[in-house]
Amino acid sequence: MPEQLTREQARRIAVRAQLLDARRPRSVLEVVQRLGFLQYDLTRAIAPSQDVILWSRLGDSYDRSDLQHLLDTQELIELHMVLRPASDIALYRAEMAAWPAAGTWEQRLADWAGANAACAEDILDQLRGDGPLPTTELPDTCAVPWRSSGWTHDKNVQKMLSALVARGEVALARREGAMPWWDLAERVYPDVPPVPFADAVRERNRRRLVAFGIARAKTVQAPVEPNDVGPVGVQATVEGVRGTWQVDPDQLERVDEPFEGRAALLSPLDRLVFDRKRLAEIFEFDYVLEMYKPAVQRIWGYWALPVLVGDRFIGKADVIAERQEGELIVHALYEDEPWAPEQRAAVLDELSSLADWLDLALVLP
């Protein structure tokens, strides 16, 4: 029979797993290893999302140079806009060797790359002799241009690099600002033997469950990284929520331990909130990233931060960093229900901490 959890127990499992309880981790590497990855994002309404995610775990001790050092030394690597421990590449080698997966949209890219095999070889030759190089210095000798109705139309080098990365031949070596620099994968990735495909999928699912604490075995597809975990872990039900869940066994053992929470301001791309369906089911929290909506249609703001206190989300903070003015401006604080005085004090303390970390003056509404 599945284990039975209350919503409160499920919430606390999720918060602990994401390192958002009162016990803070000690280093950037510890956070990345526990969360599995950091999604790289260029949006800088406050700070890059990966930095906000690390700050929300580490607090004021987080120094952005610590993350940069791990990237410079290639202890962390970037694969498909995601920062991962370099050793994890072993879990993707078999997938790269078998790319493209049959019956997926990747087949079109693979067919196009095959029709432009000479261009792929030209790029590899240039990287072999001169790499690492930025995208702008790589040759476009494609005989067949890439056709798309989206923003990648005619971006031949960019699409060819996507294919070469997927095949494990090219890797992102570093970024200079927003510009990626590329090199041969053998000079970026550690020399680790590949894990067989089925074992790699199972291990990736297990690590994802450790990061989530509680997740569905199967759910809708998500960009960047799945939100489901397959059959790993212990099956459970959550009171008041339909269906079954998978729970990390280590978290299940701690379910009756005293829980000490804290206030946290989260990036809209934080994995605790990224699965909006799980967010609604377990936390009963309504949230949508509104940056893609016209301004007149926004309810909470362009890059509103979900506000966590303890094991509950209590609202959103519409915050933006105006660096030229030297200010962190809080346009509005949205309370899902009226905040208790101690909740408000905890949120204001966290906003003050965020302003201090950014070296900006806090401006409240």
3-class DSSP state of 148: coil
User: Are 241 and 268 contained in the same domain?
Assistant: no
**Residue 233 near residue 217 (C-beta atoms within 8 A):** no
* Predicted confidence band of residue 346 (pLDDT cuts 50, 70, 90): very high
pLDDT tens figures, 67-89: 999 999 999 999 989 999 999 99
Same domain, 144 and 170: yes
Is the residue at 78 inside a domain?
Answer: no
Q: Are residues 249 and 299 in the same domain?
A: no
Could you tell me if 53 and 102 lie in one domain?
no
> Do β-strands 305-309 and 312-322 pair in parallel, antiparallel, or remain unpaired?
antiparallel
Q: Does the structure show a pLDDT above 90 at 223?
A: no
CATH number at residue 305: 3.40.630
What's the rounded mean pLDDT across residues 96-105?
89
pLDDT exceeding 90 applies to what percent of the chain? 93
Q: CA-to-CA distance for 191 and 168, rounded, in angstroms?
A: 12
For tokens 């990365």, the residue is 165
pLDDT (tens digit, 9 = 90+) per residue, 148-189?
877 787 899 999 999 999 999 999 999 998 899 999 999 999
327 shares a domain with 303: yes
Whether residues 182 and 148 share a domain: the answer is yes
Tally of domains in the chain: 3
Range of the domain at 33: 3-63+204-253
CA nearest 239: which of 78, 10, 46?
10
pLDDT at 140 over 90: yes
Average pLDDT over residues 130-156: 92
Is 197 part of a structural domain of the chain? no
Which one-letter amino acid corresponds to residue 229?
V
More confident residue, 224 or 344: 344
Same domain flag for 172 and 132: yes
What is the pTM assigned to this prediction?
0.95
- 69 domain-assigned: no
Q: Are the beta carbons of 244 and 217 closer than 8 angstroms?
A: yes
Q: What is the pLDDT of residues 283-340, one digit of tens each?
A: 999 999 999 999 999 999 999 999 999 999 999 999 999 999 999 999 999 999 999 9
* Residue 75 is assigned to a structural domain of this protein: no
Q: Are residues 98 and 53 in the same domain?
A: no
Nearest Cα residue to 10 out of 221, 241, 287: 241
- My answer on whether 93 and 181 are in the same domain is yes
Q: Is the pLDDT of residue 66 over 90?
A: yes
The residue type found at 284 is E
272 and 355 in one domain? yes
